[in-house]
Structure 1
Amino acid sequence: MTNPPHIPVLLDDVLEVFARIDSGIIIDCTLGFGGHSHALLENNPNICIIGIDKDAQAREFAQNRLQKFGDRFVCVSGGFGEKIGEILDTYGERVKGVLADIGVSSLQLDSPERGFGFGSDTLDMRMDKQSSLNAQVVINHYSAYELQRIFRDYGEIREYKKMATLIATQRDKKPFESAKELSEFLQRHFKNPRIHPATLAFQAIRIEVNDELGELERLLKMAGNLRGAVFAVISFHSLEDRMVKNAFKEWGKSCICDTSLYKCECGSNHARGVSLTKKPKIASPDEINQNPRARSAKLRAFAFKD
């Protein structure tokens, strides 16, 4: 694999958000195949990047792709929710930027053996192939009540009870063995004129398998301690975007008094910084034409005070 197998989304917007950073370290929390990191390193010869990824295949490709930058690039194995704290503890105020592209890469989606796609002959969906939890375990061994929870909370599926019940009934006859089998089963029982009937279910299962919202929650908790840095997140569905939007709103509050108080008593100077994106940045029609998967991407950015 010599050519980049994944097109980085909202690349121009990412470069613009970090354009004022002229030195120090940028943490790429979701390194993937190094698209964003490559552009950032090329655009600014005075920054270093620490890239984090739990996918061994992605790390290997990114390391080969970015080796020309020498010691300006360091690759870290693991989930960003876990590793971000360690990196911030080590490098402190040298960290001037943090980027997280919270999505599945094109290669993961398009590789049948990874089990993310509707036509895959496996049922996996692990970003970290060393993890013990995969989609087959979720579908075939979670209780109907647990399936309801993930379809309701992570897929925001209206008919979450029906979906969980049908899957539980079917697997008792014969366990699901492939993503193709599961997607065809859902397509027979559910109709959606806008998207494939299995889309939201697959999203929910993937989030559960990879603890995606837990990772984002841990990242936001640690990011709240940044000083003099730009923090940017690219999200692909409403659950993630809502978490980021709410965090930015909280960080931007000047007054932290109880809302029941008649007037401010805290001094109203507690804002940690300002949001750089009143509305999220979204892909242009040209970008969507070149990369249809960019159509649901949203970029929000926040600048922390020193």
Structure 2
Amino acid sequence: MQIHIPVLKDEVLYFFKDIKGTYLDATLGYAGHSNAILENNQFVNLIACDQDDEAIEYSKQKLSKFTNRVNIIKTNYEFILNKINKNEIRAVLADIGVSSLQLDKDDRGFSFDSLELDMRMNKDNNLDAKYIVNNYSKDKLSEIFMNYAELPYKLASDIATNIINNRPINSCKELSAVIGNSKLNNRKVSLKTLVFQAIRIEVNDELGVLTRFLEEIEKLNNCLVCFITFHSLEDKIVKDTFKRWSKNCICDENTIRCVCGNNHSKGVIITKKPITPTVDEIKNNSRASCAKLRVFYINNER
């Protein structure tokens, strides 16, 4: 079983090397990034959160050597800023991905060969993949596959129909067999990967959580914000949010001249283009291949 390997670790360390004070790791996971940050920068303290009990217990042990520099809170990251003193946060790191340990463990019900069908990042949540697969209507399943896997209507509808015709489906292994091993002509990943990803996003409301978290981050001051995404829809949300934050003028596009004051920027985009893994990193960790890092500096007190 492979322990989670932190993606773009060197790049994250570069951006955190001069941070002083408290930073937030919004998606602690198995503490790969934060262990490296705390080792590399003695001037930072960590507030971290995760909703996975197993990940929290593992990370508490891993970070125990940093004694009073670490505070770990169990919560979904969309709520963390309401549980801490926002004013002390000088940087935010959010790695919006599923850890290798979650993917690889059969009892978590994420992987193609798992005998479970779960996909919950927080096992206390009521909604799981088994319920979605066995209870959602054809229209609802099709909508998920179109919106989250970006599949064309006909294909999304055919997959939904096939799932319904093979109910009950009680494991990821059974679901994998129903979907099959085909690939879309214009996509690098398998159809099965896209469908599983779409169901996981629905189970955990991943895009909604990300959007709401960004709305909370917008209120911070003098804070570096680093997001690592693995899905094109997540990356688009982050990209569009950073672009909106950077705008001085918020007038309607059809306005002939600016009437808003032209001073509404919340800071600056640090990475004009997303940072992606090197060839060597992808060779050592294939799950890094889709990762994109975007960085913004929020300064609401200009």
Asked if these proteins are the same fold (TM beyond 0.5), I'd say yes
User: 2:174 corresponds to which residue?
Assistant: 181
Deviations along 1:132-175, one digit per CA (max 9) or x if unpaired, are 1111000001111111111111111221111111211221xxx0
Deviations 1:157-201 (A, max 9, x none): 221111111211221xxx00110110111006x544643331100
**Residue equivalent to 1:110:** 104
Counterpart residue number, 2:94? 100
Say yes or no: does 1:226 pair with 2:224: no
User: Which piece of structure 1 moves more, 246-255 or 44-53?
Assistant: 44-53
Aligned to 2:5: 7
The CA deviation at 1:20 is 2.4
Query: C-alpha distance in 2, partners of 1:301/1:195?
Result: 27
Task: Tell me the residue number matched to 2:34.
Answer: 37
Aligned length: 296
1:207 aligns with 2:207: no
Aligned to 1:66: 63
**Residue 296 of structure 2 corresponds to residue 298 of structure 1:** no
Aligned-pair distance for 1:218?
1.0
C-alpha separation between the residues in 2 aligned to 1:192 and 1:27? Answer: 39
Would the aligned equivalents of 1:187 and 1:196 in 2 still touch at CA under 8 Å?
no
Asked if structure 2 preserves the Cα contact closer than 8 Å seen for 1:154 and 1:204, the reply is yes
Runs of 4+ that moved beyond 3 A: 190-194
Partners in 1 of 2:28 and 2:57 — Cα distance? Answer: 11
> Which position in structure 1 is the counterpart of 2:80?
83
Question: What is the letter of the counterpart of residue 177 of structure 2?
Answer: E
Q: Which letter maps to 1:52?
A: C
Q: What is the SS of the residue equivalent to 2:166?
A: helix
Query: 2:86 & 2:8 partners in 1: Cα distance?
Result: 28
Partner of 1:20: 18
Counterpart in the other structure of 2:282: 288
- Aligned-partner Cα distance in 1 for 2:79–2:87: 19
RMSD: 1.4
Other structure's SS at 1:150 match: helix
- How far apart, CA to CA, are the structure 2 residues paired with 1:115 and 1:239? 23
1:267 Cα shift?
2.2
- Residue 117 of structure 2 aligns to a residue whose secondary structure is coil
Matches within 5 A, 1:136-151: 136-151=130-145
TM-score between both structures, scaled by the size of structure 1: 0.93
2:160 corresponds to: 164
TM-score, normalising length: structure 2:
0.95
Structure 1 position 250, deviation (Å): 0.5
Following superposition, the deviation at residue 106 of structure 1 comes to 0.3
> Structure 1 pair 191/235, CA: closer, same or farther in 2 (3 Å)?
closer
- The answer to whether the 8 A contact 2:103-2:110 is kept is yes
Q: How does 1:239-250 map to 2 (within 5 A)?
A: 239-250=233-244
What do residues 54-110 of structure 1 show as CA deviations (whole Å, max 9, x unaligned)? 1111100000000111111011101001223332xxx23210001100000000111
Residue 229 (structure 1) shift: 0.3
Whole-Å separation in 1 of the counterparts to 2:115 and 2:91: 40
Structure 1 position 9, deviation (Å): 0.2
**Residues 82 and 215 in structure 1, CA contact (< 8 A), matched pair in contact too:** no
Question: Which amino acid in 1 is paired with 2:140?
Answer: E
User: Is structure 2 residue 271 aligned with structure 1 residue 277?
Assistant: yes
Do 1:34 and 1:65's aligned partners in 2 also have CA atoms closer than 8 Å? yes
Instruction: Measure the CA separation in 2 of the matches of 1:297 and 1:115.
Output: 23
Q: Distance in 1 between matches of 2:25 and 2:76?
A: 12
CA contact (8 A) 2:166 2:178 kept: no
Distance in 2, matches of 1:121 and 1:7, equals 24
Q: Which amino acid in structure 2 is aligned with residue 67 of structure 1?
A: S
Question: Any gaps of 5 or more consecutive residues in structure 2?
Answer: none
* Structure 2 contact 97–229 (Cα < 8 Å) conserved: yes
